[in-house]
Structure formats: structure tokens, C-alpha cells
Structure 1
Amino acid sequence: MTQSKLSLASKADNESTKEFLSPYPPSYEEATADTTVIFCNDAEKFTQFSWDNYNTRRIFIRKVFSILTIQLLVTFTIVAFCTFCGTVKNFIHSNPGWYWASYAVFFITYFILSCCSKPRRRFPWNLILLGVFTLSLSYMTGMLSSFYDTKSVVLCLGITATVCLLVTLCSFQTKFDITLYQGVLFVFCIVMFISGLVLALVIPFNYVPWLDVTYAVLGAILFTLFLMFDTQLLMGNKRYGMSPEEHVFATLCIYMDIIYIFSFFLQIFGTKHNQSVVV
């Protein structure tokens, strides 16, 4: 009887030792199995991520900002060519069909990267799609900039860079958790969308300059808040965080926030020298 008990005890100890000395490291899903999911349809996009795995989060942030820097350099180069080079500017103005083609590419790639998790996480298709998305949106931004005065474009680039830098630093330092107010941002988006539709119908018949400026100011405020929201999701030390596997989606969100902030600043401070195209 005693020997059987000892054998059972030793067997249990051996099994627990084997489990403790498992040669396979835990996966990310196993390591974060106690986290709460926000959106069940895409379970790994947003999670309540604890700050336990600091190295994973640090590598994730570094990867996102590295890709984002390359995107912004590509966009800045295309905007500079469209603004300073007269030949490129004349080609853009004489071929508006390229704008609508780039808009279609932008919409398709944005839909795939936002709604389809497999292409967004599968290398190298995720980077290829992100590169095509960046080129299409950069061309649209460059065409928009070509209808404004050169000094206005440079001024808005400087203002955008300053605002984005300050918002990013504030997101890293502040204790205010904007990820708790995603419902407020969603309502703000709906209001801006409906207001944009109304302005598109009203302005061509009875143009009121202050309406355009007011809409641009509200749009700049909205996407500045979204930049702070996405940056805090990227950090992961607030109430809600983004999964470290979603570096492409995180880069996509922050990049779009910056581009839209620039476009709204261009509407506010820019001096038009021709009929503009709305992104």
C-alpha cells in the first residue's frame, strides 16, 4: 500500500517536472490567455495587453515606427516632386485620371489591410500591400499639394510635423487614457461624415468660406485625437492595447492619421492657386 502511494507520488512529480521543463516555449496566445478581448471578430487585433512582456512591446513599437518613417519619407518625396517640379505638376494637372486610379487602389488596399487578417499578417504580402497603399495615398496627397502655393505646402508640412511630434510625446508621457473614449471618437466621426456630405451639396451652390475652414479645423482636431488614440494603442500600457502581431495595421492607422492631419492643415493655412481636388 505504501509502495503504491510512493509510486503514484513519484509519477505525479515526474509529470509535473516534465511539464515544468517543457522544451517548447509558450506561444503569444498562451502567454496572453488571461487577457480580455475587445472585438471578438478579430480576436488578436485589440486586446487588454498587460505590460508584462516589455521586450515584445518594445520591438513592436520599434518595428512600427521604422516602417512609418519609410512611409513618410516616400510621401514627402512625392509631395516635394509634385510641389516643386513644374513638369511633374503639369503632368498631374493634365492627367486627372491617375488621381481616380490611385483612389481606387487606395480604397482596395485599405479594405484588404483593415478587414482581412490573413493578408495583413502574411509576409511578404502584408508589406507589398502596405507599399502599394503608401504609393497610392502619397500620389493623392501630392496631387492635392500641387494645387496649393509652395510656401503654403512647406508651412503645413512643418506644422504637421510639429503637431505629430508633440502629440506622440504627449501620448507617451500623459496619464490620460484616451482609449476609453473610443465611442466619443466614433460619434465625432459620424458627425464629420454627415457634415461633409452636407457641405458637398451646399458649397457648390452658395459658397461660404468659413464653413470650409470650420470643417477643416474640426477634421484636424479629430485626427489629432485619433493619432493620440492609435499611439496609446500601440504603447499598450493603457486600458486597451494593440496586439504585437499587428504591426502593419498599427502603421496603417498612424500613417493615415498623419496624412489626414496634413490635408486638413492644408485646407486651413494653404493658399490655393488653382481648383483643388478633395481627398
Structure 2
Amino acid sequence: MWNQAFRKSDPEAGARLLYPVMLESPELRWSFIRKIYAIVAIQLLATIAVGAVVVSVRPVANFFVSTGAGLALYIVLIITPFIVLCPLYYYHQKHPVNYLLLGIFTISLAFVVGLTCAFTSGKVILESVILTAVVVIGLTLYTFWAARRGQDFHFLGPFLSGALLVLIVFALIQVFFPLGKISVMIYGCLASIIFCGYIVYDTDNLIKRYSYDEYIWAAVSLYLDIINLFLALLTVFRASD
């Protein structure tokens, strides 16, 4: 279906060029892109499924917040994705270890997302999901369109890294010195803008720079962008609810 949708008139090209100076085979790059989005879609479906169980089955959420063992397990679930990222980066080209680590990373993060949503109103969750979906689809289509016309977003990397560092420091300040609802909304808005930039940046890298062996790491990057954007929007809507 993708090949039919992005067909190019030149029979030697076989598939539509993704950007003007493309030197590799368009068919191989389109196949790589489809593989990445298939992996991300499975990750998102797994996150939705786990999150739905945590939100709908109240004893699960209550266990995590009302018992010592549950709180300890919650802390383990929070740090597990960060721990798994290290071996995942090292083994992201080794099958099937990469898929196993990716599964652990996704499920642990899905539990964190589910527990975050468990004590949030359904209206706020729905608003965040809808806005996240619209923004992700819109920015993805825009990045493909812009790349087709020769625009390059690699320059965003240093700016986004610096903004992310500021965001992390802001979050630490919030933990030790809570600044109130307005500061929480400002944090959520800043985080939303930053991860919108990361979606554009990582999609541009997916189109032009990731090698074919880096499909796991490319999927992780996009998945984290989407999840972080959702959590940032959830923070904004929850603070304003």
C-alpha cells in the first residue's frame, strides 16, 4: 500500500524519492521506514493495553500506591526503562536480544504511563490522547513533506538537547521546591514544545540518517517522543482541570 501511495513516475527509481539528494535506493528506505512505524505501532498498542488494565482494574493501581511493596515495585518500574536503555543501545543490532530488551523497556514504561493515568480523570486522558495523535500525525506528515522539498532539521539537535537539559533541571526543582499549579502548566507547555521538536528531528533522522541496522534505536526514539509528548500534555490538562 505504501509503495502504491508513494510511487514515482521514473521507472528506474521504483519508489518516490524521500529528499532531493537521496543517493540510496528509495525502496530500501521506504521498507525501513515501514518497519520502524510497525514497531512503534506495536509499542503503542502494548502501552494502551497495559495502561487500560492499570486504569480500569482499580486494585492494581491501589496496590502500587497503598502498600510498601507496591511503592517499591513502582520505583523499580520507573527506573527500569532507564536501566534497559544502556544494554539496549549496546545490543540494538543483535537479534533476538534487541527485541527482548525492547519488550521489557516498553512494558515497564507502559506501567508507568498507566499508573500516571490511573488517578487522572477520563476527560483529561481523552483530551491528551486526541491532541497527541493529531500533533504526531501532523508533524510526521509535515516532516516528510518538508524533506521532500529539501529542508533539513538536523540543526535542531543541539537546541533540543539544551532545552531538554533545562527541562530536567526544572523537573528537579519542582520535586524539591514545588512552585504551584502555574509552574506545573509552564513545565508541561515547555515539555510539549520540546518533544514536538524531537518528533520532527527524529523523523528527519529516520528519513535520512539512521542506518538499516538501527531500526530498534530509531523506534525507541520515536516511541519516547510520543510518550513524553502525551505525558507533557497530560500534565497541562491535569493542572488546568
Does TM-score exceed 0.5, indicating one fold? yes
SS at structure 1 position matched to 2:154: helix
Aligned positions of 1:1-279 closer than 5 A: 50-94=22-66, 95-114=70-89, 116=90, 119-174=91-146, 175=149, 176-203=151-178, 207-236=179-208, 241-270=209-238
**TM-aligned CA deviation for residue 144 of structure 1:** 0.7
Corresponding residue pairs, total:
215
Higher relative helix content:
2
Q: CA deviation at 1:271?
A: 6.3
| Equivalent-residue separation in structure 1 for 2:27 and 2:123 (angstroms) | 43
Show the counterpart of 1:14: none
The one-letter code matched in structure 1 to 2:226 is I
- CA separation in 1, counterparts of 2:58 and 2:168? 35
Partner residue of 1:46? none
CA distance in 2, matches of 1:185, 1:168: 17
Q: Which moved more, 1:119-128 or 1:145-154?
A: 145-154
1:187 counterpart letter in structure 2: G
Question: What displacement does 1:122 show?
Answer: 0.7
User: 1:202 Cα shift?
Assistant: 1.9
Q: Over residues 121-178 of structure 1, what are the superposed CA-to-partner deviations in whole Å (9 max), with x where a residue is unaligned?
A: 0110010100110001001111111121122112211111111111111111124422
Unaligned residue ranges in structure 2 (runs of 5+): 1-20
1:201 and 1:134, CA in 2 relative to 1: closer, same or farther beyond 3 A? Answer: same
Q: Secondary structure at the match of 1:131?
A: helix
RMSD: 1.9
Contact 1:149 1:271 in 2 (8 A): no
CA pair 272-133 structure 1, distance change in 2 beyond 3 A: farther
Preserved contact between residue 148 and residue 271 of structure 1 (Cα < 8 Å): no
Letter in 2 for 1:131: G
TM, length-normalised to structure 1: 0.72
Q: Could you list the runs of 4 or more consecutive aligned residues of structure 1 that deviate by over 6 angstroms after TM superposition?
A: none
Displacement of 1:52? 2.2
Instruction: Extract unaligned runs of 5+ from structure 1.
Output: 1-48, 274-279
Structure 2 length as normaliser, TM-score? 0.83
